Amino acid sequence: MADEKFPEIQGGGSLILAWQVRNKKVLVVGGGEVAAGRILNLLNADAKVILISPRDGLNPEVAYRIERGQVTYHDKLFEPSDLDDPAITMVMTAVDDPEASTRIWKLCKEKRIAANIADVPPECDFYFGSVHRDGPLQIMVSTNGNGPKMANIVRRRIAATLPPNIGEAIAKVGALRKKLRVLAPGDEQGPKRMKWYVLSRKLA
């Protein structure tokens, strides 16, 4: 066993996951530029966004989302009772009041709700990375809150090396896999589906 070569542990990282929030409630507190980015990410993931922020000072993009009915909007300041809905999956704050943000974070900890407090890494259960999107393809680069601008640089360099229309190709692969699952349902038919899939790729 001593001669085995296993990967070395590299602590200090994050567990990067594709968190499925489709049709799940996510509470966003704040209506500025950072909130606009958070809301767009959530809507792209088909989440049900609940937004709490006074109307005065809303970012133009956030106001647009509200006008289009893309979010459930409450024109007010955050109150602890806003976390009483058990269906809330996560909370994101993007306000210019550090004390208020910390209070919200502590309330989320009490209720065991995952939270992201903008620009305060120690008060984040998860981070946003720099994301490249092409249809179903999503590539995220994370610096674990250390250097967001560096993450953008790395993401752009990775995206520049990708083949054109890679997203469309992946979408076609996904459609093929769905068809094969209909033709050969059940986990026990996995090997058969894989053979058909490999054969179809050779014939394409």
55 and 79 co-located in one domain? yes
112 and 155 co-located in one domain? no
Quick one: average pLDDT of 32-59? 95
- Per-residue confidence at 119, pLDDT binned at 50, 70, 90? confident
Quick one: average pLDDT of 181-186? 68
75 and 138 co-located in one domain? no
85 is catalytic: no
60 and 133 co-located in one domain? no
Q: Read off the tokens for 165.
A: 């229309």
Q: Where are the extended beta strands (E) located within the chain?
A: 25-29, 48-52, 72-74, 88-93, 114-117, 130-134, 137-141
30 and 122 co-located in one domain? yes
Split into its structural domains, the chain has a count of 3
Note the maximum CA span of the chain: 65
Q: What local confidence, expressed as pLDDT, does residue 188 receive?
A: 63
Which one of the listed residues 119, 125, 134, 187 is annotated catalytic? 119
Q: What is the pLDDT of residues 86-104, one digit of tens each?
A: 999 999 999 999 899 999 9
Q: What local confidence, expressed as pLDDT, does residue 202 receive?
A: 47
115 and 135 co-located in one domain? no
Max avg pLDDT among 17-31, 167-181, 185-199: 17-31
Domain assignment present for 32: yes
Residues in contact with 62: Cβ distance below 8 Å, sequence separation at least 6, in sequence order: 31, 32, 35, 36, 39, 51, 53
Residue 42 or 10, more confident: 42
**Is residue 83 scored above 80 in pLDDT?**
yes
121 and 80 co-located in one domain? yes
Residue 139 or 64, more confident: 64
Q: The sheet that has 88-93: what strands, in order across it? A: 72-74, 48-52, 25-29, 88-93, 114-117
Percent of the chain exceeding pLDDT 70 equals 87
3-class secondary structure, 197: helix
Torsion of CA 114, 119, 120, 122, to 10 degrees: 70
Expressed as residue numbers, the domain containing 185 is: 166-203
192 and 150 co-located in one domain? no
Q: What local confidence, expressed as pLDDT, does residue 52 receive?
A: 98
Residue from 75, 82, 71, 17 nearest 43 by CA: 71
- Per-residue confidence at 189, pLDDT binned at 50, 70, 90? low
81 and 170 co-located in one domain? no
Q: 98 with 75: CB under 8 angstroms?
A: no
